[in-house]
Structure 1
Amino acid sequence: MNELAGIADRLPLVTQIHPNPGSGTSEDLEDAVRDLASHFTYLARTVATRDRQARRYPHRYTAQLREGNAALARAAAPTGRALADLGEAVTAAGRLHRLNHSPPGPGHAEDLQHTIEVLGVHVTRARAHLFAAARQLRADAHRLLTAQAPAAPENLTTLPVAASASHRGHGR
């Protein structure tokens, strides 16, 4: 979950996307796609592995493992959408590259501006999907950990702080 939010944080903001070739946007996208593809692969592999484990060892496959697996599976949808948007952003970055290295002609400035806007839209969407996946995973982890925590015994009592402090050092 933190890794997905970290990838989102490293994506360029719309205000950081510039038409000049040295802006670093393509490199930022490359890093994000590589990292996100790795995390997406982890999600898919973990879901498949746990499914195999459940079939092979049904008596060991606990409700908590099932819920954890379902949480990872739910995270795959927004993570996949983020990856798709990054794919579109790479396409726009390629178009931006072509425009940057082409002789200006009629409509060049408009094409350049439109391509930057398209790139910004896809990066913004990818960021939103990644943050949504991270929020969902955090909420699921919190829910699973809360459900797992043992309840305090009903007959458990504690001494008031003042009462326990008053016994210290007296009567010895």
Structure 2
Amino acid sequence: MNELAGIADRLPLSTQIHPTSRSSTSEDLEDAIRDLTRHFIYLARTVATRDRLARRYPRRYTAQLREGNAALARVAAPTGQALADLGEAVTAAGRLHRLNHSAPGPGHAEDLQRTRNVLDDHVTRARAHLFAAARQLRADAHRLLTARAPAAPENLTTLPVAAASASHRGHGR
């Protein structure tokens, strides 16, 4: 979950994408796509592996493992949507590159701005999908961990005398 949010944080902000900029927007997109692809493959592999384990060892495949697998599967859609948006952003970055290196003509400035806006829109959507996936994973992890944690007895406020004296066995005698 932290990795997905980290990828979103590293994406260029709209203030960093300029029509005539020599910034590293394309490199930022390349890095994000490589990292996100690696995480997407991890999600798909983990879901498939756990599915095989559930079929091979049905008695060992606990409800918590099922829920954890379902949580990973749920974030595949927003993660894939982020990847698709980043693909569209690369297309827009390529168009922006071409426009930056072509002779200005009628409507050139408008094309630059429009392409920059398209690029920014796709990066913004990818960021939103990644943050949504990270929030979903965080919420699912919290739910699974709190469901697993045993509740403390309400009436236990101090250590029982037997437990306290047993921990000091052999000391002070």
- TM-score normalised by L of structure 2: 0.89
Paired residues of 1:21 and 1:97 also in contact (CA < 8 A): no
Deviation at 1:141, TM superposition (A): 0.2
Q: RMSD in angstroms over aligned alpha carbons?
A: 1.1
**Aligned counterparts of 2:99 and 2:154: Cα–Cα separation in 1:** 71
Q: Distance in 2 between matches of 1:157 and 1:103?
A: 78
* Correspondence for 2:40: 40
Which AA in structure 1 matches 2:70? A
8 Å CA contact 1:33–1:83 kept in 2: the answer is yes
1:18 maps to a residue whose letter is H
Query: Which residue does 1:151 correspond to in 2?
Result: 151
Instruction: Give, in angstroms, the shift of residue 154 of structure 1.
Output: 4.4
Q: Which residue of 2 aligns with 1:83?
A: 83
Q: Which residue of 1 aligns with 2:124?
A: 124
Question: Structure 2, unaligned stretches of length 5 or more?
Answer: 160-173
> Match of 1:19, SS?
coil
Displacement after TM superposition at 1:118 (Å): 0.3
Q: Distance in 2 between matches of 1:92 and 1:122?
A: 9
- For structure 1, which runs of at least 5 residues remain unmatched after alignment? 160-172
In the other structure, the counterpart of 1:102 is 102
Greater shift in the superposed pair: 145-154 or 108-117: 145-154
Matched residue, 1:8: 8
Partner of 2:18: 18
Identity of aligned residues (%): 87
> How far does residue 122 in structure 1 lie from its aligned partner after superposition?
0.4
Name the counterpart of 2:164: none
Give the match for residue 171 of structure 2. Answer: none
Following TM superposition, by how much is the alpha carbon of 1:105 offset from its aligned partner in structure 2, in angstroms? 1.1
Which AA in structure 2 matches 1:59?
R
The residue that corresponds to 1:165 in the other structure is none
SS of the residue 1:147 aligns to: helix
Does residue 111 in structure 1 map to residue 111 in structure 2? yes
Distance in 1 of aligned mates of 2:117 and 2:152: 55
Q: Counterpart of 2:166?
A: none
The whole-number CA distance in structure 1 between the counterparts of 2:8 and 2:155 is 48
Q: Residues 127-159 of structure 1: CA distance to partner in whole angstroms, max 9, x if unpaired?
A: 000000000000000000000001113442338
- The number of residue pairs the alignment matches comes to 159
Give 1:21 shift: 5.0
User: Which whole-Å CA distance do the structure 2 matches of 1:15 and 1:33 have between them?
Assistant: 20
Number of the residue aligned with 1:73: 73
Does residue 50 of the first structure (1) align with residue 56 of the second (2)?
A: no
Structure-1 residue corresponding to 2:162: none
Q: State the alpha-carbon separation in 1 of the partners of residues 28 and 7 from structure 2.
A: 10
